[in-house]
Structure 1
Amino acid sequence: MSDGNSRRRWYGLVAISIAVALIIVDSTIVNVAVPNIVNDLGLTSSQVQWVQESYTLVFAATLLIWGALADRIGRRRMLLIGVVVFVVASGLAAVANSGEALIGARIIQGFGGAMILPTTLSLINVGFTGRDRGIAFAVWGSTIGGMVALGPLLGGWLTTSFSWRWAFGINLPIGLIIVAGVLLFVDESRADEDRGIDVVGALLSAVTFASLAFGLIEGRTYGWWSSTKPFELGSWTWPFAISPVPVAFAITLIAGSIFVVRTLRRTAAGLPTLFRFDLFGINSFRNGNIAALIVSLGEFGIVLSLPLWLQNVLGYTAFQTGLVLLGLAIGSFTASGISAALSRHLQPAAMVRAGIVAEIVGIAALGLVISPTSSWLAVVPCLFVYGFGVGLATAQLTGVVLVDVPVQRSGEGSGLQSTARQIGSALGIAILGTVLFTTAAVSLENGLEDLGVPPAARTGIVNAVVDSAGGAIPGLSGDPRTAAAAPVAQQAFSDATRNAAFTAAGFLVLGLLATLSLGDRPRGRHAPGYAAQEGPADTPALT
């Protein structure tokens, strides 16, 4: 391969990485901008929730669809379509004048984001081989880890210095850069065979994953069995005593079962399907996806609770919180920088394990230093180590999962891998959110009881702190009637954040154990030296 073509591939990787950064930054920016959006548009509590969750639900529900479709219509084309959809939706969100308009724009963003993520993976899987492929995935993974931390910093700056609308408007110039870079430096690729499109299978897949994501994310809010809070959708309110969450899980089971049976039958008959289950006959793909799902349970969970603790207990502003989280980003990008050197001495699966070990050390250390009197000087080094592990493990695990997937099925495999991670993330958020708020409520209740606060007042304070995700804590010290409860609330929320960190570390330990089933021997077209070969990619036996 000529030096010119080699340079062109790496320029293309820059464009692909910026596309990944676009969707990751946007999802984290919104969390910081929400208070200002509420004040400007007068959102209800239900609308606030849907501004955040509508994007996630659509994203999780359609990842698999767009990944498989990209194999058929062209991966570069799907990436460009996704970027255009995402940018147009961002423009609509930036000019939204009501909660309904903003939620609608977020739904469209979810479609665009789901087109982008698996397609970036499949383009890297197709475009790089051998050691270059490991480096490319390291850049991809470190971009995700770094942007998770940079998003709050950028969002805090844009919201504070300009307007929350710029949190969406910033996507327009970034989108133009991505489109230009992809058109100039990324080659088109698609599957050799056109298997058609299974529309019914796509709809069943969307229903399955949307209902699963809804149940996992909203279980703590609406109740895992009985309704604990009214579920509202526009002007309609859920009328039953049973929570919508178990109903969502029932829909997941029914739609998922129909999808599996229907896919198996259509595969046997040679008819088009969204994906074929024979991919799970590839050991590295099957075992890697299991490990990725478990690791995702704990990998980004602390990002849910840490900003709440920093702002509501330590009193940091949104911008200061972003500066603290910058430690995670620096660690992630550092891992990207040294991954090429490490790849000369360690196989990808070994690098995955090393990264997960670093994550465990960083997040466990973070749990040890969390207290109402903690300093950022103690927190940032822990985040750096954690971010280093994320940057090292995330990309290499992605490479391990896809290493033996036939090149013509890269979009299909990437969609499945992204979906497994998304399910793991949703499950992790559900579990860690439950740990955070349940233990905060119990600890605060016990602390207030020891303080001699009457039962009715205890209940009011506990509900205010938990329902506001800790946002009510700063106000306690400003009211003479509740000033004595403020230190107790700060300690309770710190204890809960510590418990969430240790729980995340526990999931990562399980993920580390799951990676022991992954082999270290590079195979197929991604083995060292294969890059020098010409001709079609080899297709591994599905064993």
Structure 2
Amino acid sequence: MTASSSRVRWFGLVFISLGVALIIVDSTIVNVAIPAIVDDLGISSTQVQWVQEAYTLVFAALLLLFGSLADKFGRRRMMLLGIILFTIASVMAGLAPSGDLLILARLIQGVGGAMVLPTTLSLINATFRGRERGIAFAVWGSTIGGMVAVGPLLGGWLTTAFSWRWAFGINVPLGIIIFIGVLLTVAESREPTYGKIDYLGAVLSVLVFGPLVFGLIEGRTYGWWLTDTPMEIGGFTWPFDLSPVPIAFAISLLALVGFITWELHRKRTGKSVLLEFSLFRISSFRNGNIAAMLISLGEFGIILTLPLWLQFVLGFDALQTGFLLLSLAIGSFMASGFAGATSGKISPVTIVRVGLVAEIIGVASVGLIIGPDAVWGWLIPALFVYGFGVGLATAQLTGVILQDVPVEMSGQGSGTQSTARQVGSALGVAILGTILFTSTAGILTSSLQEQNLPADQIDQVVSAVVDSAGGAIAGLEANPQTADIADAAKTAFSDGTRLSAFAATGFLVIGLIATFSLGGAHKTREQQDAEASTEAEANLLSKDNELS
């Protein structure tokens, strides 16, 4: 390979990483802009969750499909189409006149993101080999970790200096730059022997994830079992006493059974499948995906809840919130240097575990610090430690999952591991958001009952605080007659945020435990080279003995 072609590959990695940055930053850039969106569009707390979840949900549901389509029709082509769709949807989001249209634009963004993410991984898997592949994965993973925090900073600056709409508008010039860069520096890669696309499997996979996340988000609104508030869509009103939430869970479960059955049937008949179950015979792939999903349950949910608390309880503006979260990004970027320095000296699984321990310490510390009168400066070291852990765990776990996957199955492999992460992230945001708003409602209700407020007034205040995702607290505080109520609301919202942080910590602990299923199979490069050398010497000795 010439030096020129080698340089082009590394330039290609830069634009691939920028593509990852674009879609990951959009999953976090909105968080600090949510309070401004609430004020401007008047969206409810349920819509707040859906602005975040609409993107993540569609993202997760379509990763498997687009991973397979990329293998068949071309990975670079799929990435470029995804960038185009994502950019168009960003324009729609920036111009959205209502919460419902903003959610629709976020859904379309999720489609574009799902076209990009698995193709970035499979392009890296197909382009780089050996130690270079490890470096490329480290760059890819560190980009994700860093963008989780750079997103809030960028969103905070754009929202404060201009408008929340520019948090989406910034994607347009970035999308153009990435499109041109990928077109010029990334070689096309595909699997020419790939069979027909499994469209029924794709539909079933969407039915697995969609209703599940819907139920987790809407359970507190419509009722977990019996209908509390009738669901209304257009002119249709839910007519049954049984809530739509358990029905959504049942659809998800049935779709999962149907998906597994259908995929196994196609495999037996020699047809191409959306999810290649033979990949799960690879222990690193199987156990790594389980760990990745559990870890993602706890990793990113706190980035939804923390900005709301910082702005509505402590009174931060969007830019101040972004600067505070910058400590997370700094920690993540520093982790990439640590991972590079220890490459070949410490096994990737060990680095993943070290990263998870750092994440657990960081998030637990955030939970301990949170309070209505918290000293925010203590959040900086806590978020730095958390970000350092994210940077370590994200990059190395990706390498562990994909290192034994054959190149011709890299699209499915990367799509599967990305799906595991995004499903975990979607569930984490849904669960932690539900914990935040449900616990806030319960704690605030109890507190106001102790103040002997009338039941009607309690219901009105609790609904206002929860439905506005905390945005109503400022109005209560500005009125001297409701100052005590505002203090109770701040305390309740702080307690809810703290509980969500501790829940995230619990998920990360489970994820850490899950990594022990990876065992010690992934040795350092020096150990692998030594064993290969020993094996080669043994083979030569065996041949010498046969000749003699």
Q: Same fold (TM over 0.5)?
A: yes
Report the Cα offset of residue 528 of structure 1: 7.0
The equivalent residue for 2:220 is: 220
Tell which deviates more after alignment, 17-26 or 386-395. Answer: 17-26
The equivalent residue for 1:314 is: 314
The equivalent residue for 1:485 is: 485
1:477-507 Cα shifts (integer Å, max 9, x gaps): 2223321222222222222222221221111
- One-letter identity of the residue aligned with 1:249: F
1:37-436 residue pairs with structure 2 within 5 A?
Answer: 37=37, 50-97=50-97, 101-436=101-436
Report the Cα offset of residue 54 of structure 1: 3.1
Q: Is the CA contact (8 Å cut-off) linking 2:32 and 2:308 kept in structure 1?
A: no
Query: CA 1:130–1:176 in structure 2 vs 1: closer, same or farther (change >3 Å)?
Result: same
Report the Cα offset of residue 220 of structure 1: 3.1
Please state whether the residue corresponding to 2:203 is helix, strand or coil. Answer: helix
1:245-297 Cα shifts (integer Å, max 9, x gaps): 22211211222222211211111111222222111111111111111111111
The equivalent residue for 2:15 is: 15
Report the Cα offset of residue 511 of structure 1: 0.7
- One-letter identity of the residue aligned with 1:380: I
Tell which deviates more after alignment, 204-213 or 15-24. Answer: 204-213
Q: Is the CA contact (8 Å cut-off) linking 1:217 and 1:426 kept in structure 2?
A: no
Q: Is the CA contact (8 Å cut-off) linking 2:38 and 2:471 kept in structure 1?
A: no
- 2:529 and 2:10 map into 1 onto residues whose CA distance is 18
- One-letter identity of the residue aligned with 2:129: T
- 1:47 and 1:36 map into 2 onto residues whose CA distance is 14
Q: Is the CA contact (8 Å cut-off) linking 1:130 and 1:526 kept in structure 2?
A: no
Please state whether the residue corresponding to 1:229 is helix, strand or coil. Answer: coil
Tell which deviates more after alignment, 218-227 or 494-503. Answer: 218-227
- One-letter identity of the residue aligned with 2:460: G
- One-letter identity of the residue aligned with 2:475: G
Q: Is the CA contact (8 Å cut-off) linking 2:31 and 2:304 kept in structure 1?
A: no
Q: Is the CA contact (8 Å cut-off) linking 1:158 and 1:166 kept in structure 2?
A: yes
- Bigger Cα Rg: 2
Q: Is the CA contact (8 Å cut-off) linking 2:31 and 2:303 kept in structure 1?
A: no
CA RMSD of aligned residues (A): 2.6
Query: CA 1:181–1:99 in structure 2 vs 1: closer, same or farther (change >3 Å)?
Result: same
The equivalent residue for 1:499 is: 499
In structure 2, list runs of 5 or more residues that go unmatched.
Answer: 531-548
Query: CA 1:266–1:54 in structure 2 vs 1: closer, same or farther (change >3 Å)?
Result: same
Tell which deviates more after alignment, 329-338 or 51-60. Answer: 51-60
Query: CA 1:459–1:169 in structure 2 vs 1: closer, same or farther (change >3 Å)?
Result: closer
- One-letter identity of the residue aligned with 1:290: I
Please state whether the residue corresponding to 2:29 is helix, strand or coil. Answer: helix
- 2:525 and 2:16 map into 1 onto residues whose CA distance is 22
Please state whether the residue corresponding to 1:225 is helix, strand or coil. Answer: coil
1:10-48 Cα shifts (integer Å, max 9, x gaps): 211111111111112223233444455566567688766
Please state whether the residue corresponding to 2:339 is helix, strand or coil. Answer: helix
The equivalent residue for 1:541 is: none
Report the Cα offset of residue 83 of structure 1: 0.6
1:412-443 Cα shifts (integer Å, max 9, x gaps): 01111111112212222232223223332333
Q: TM-score, normalised by structure 2?
A: 0.90
- 2:213 and 2:301 map into 1 onto residues whose CA distance is 15
- 2:96 and 2:466 map into 1 onto residues whose CA distance is 30
Q: TM-score, normalised by structure 1?
A: 0.91
1:514-533 residue pairs with structure 2 within 5 A?
Answer: 514-522=514-522
Tell which deviates more after alignment, 267-276 or 38-47. Answer: 38-47
Report the Cα offset of residue 524 of structure 1: 13
- 1:209 and 1:499 map into 2 onto residues whose CA distance is 25
Q: Is the CA contact (8 Å cut-off) linking 2:300 and 2:425 kept in structure 1?
A: yes
- 1:121 and 1:322 map into 2 onto residues whose CA distance is 28
Report the Cα offset of residue 387 of structure 1: 0.4
- One-letter identity of the residue aligned with 2:408: Q
Please state whether the residue corresponding to 1:483 is helix, strand or coil. Answer: helix
Tell which deviates more after alignment, 190-199 or 36-45. Answer: 36-45
Q: Is the CA contact (8 Å cut-off) linking 2:349 and 2:522 kept in structure 1?
A: no
Q: Is the CA contact (8 Å cut-off) linking 1:220 and 1:430 kept in structure 2?
A: no
Report the Cα offset of residue 373 of structure 1: 1.9
- One-letter identity of the residue aligned with 2:203: L
1:134-173 Cα shifts (integer Å, max 9, x gaps): 3222222222222222222222222332233322221111
Query: CA 1:128–1:221 in structure 2 vs 1: closer, same or farther (change >3 Å)?
Result: farther
Tell which deviates more after alignment, 381-390 or 276-285. Answer: 276-285
Query: CA 1:110–1:244 in structure 2 vs 1: closer, same or farther (change >3 Å)?
Result: same
- 2:164 and 2:377 map into 1 onto residues whose CA distance is 29
Query: CA 1:83–1:372 in structure 2 vs 1: closer, same or farther (change >3 Å)?
Result: same
- One-letter identity of the residue aligned with 1:280: F
Q: Is the CA contact (8 Å cut-off) linking 1:331 and 1:387 kept in structure 2?
A: yes
Query: CA 1:230–1:21 in structure 2 vs 1: closer, same or farther (change >3 Å)?
Result: farther
1:92-123 Cα shifts (integer Å, max 9, x gaps): 33344555654443332221111011111112
In structure 1, list runs of 5 or more residues that go unmatched.
Answer: 531-543
The equivalent residue for 1:4 is: 4
- One-letter identity of the residue aligned with 2:517: S
Please state whether the residue corresponding to 1:29 is helix, strand or coil. Answer: coil
1:516-536 Cα shifts (integer Å, max 9, x gaps): 111444489999779xxxxxx
Report the Cα offset of residue 313 of structure 1: 1.1
Q: Is the CA contact (8 Å cut-off) linking 1:139 and 1:336 kept in structure 2?
A: yes
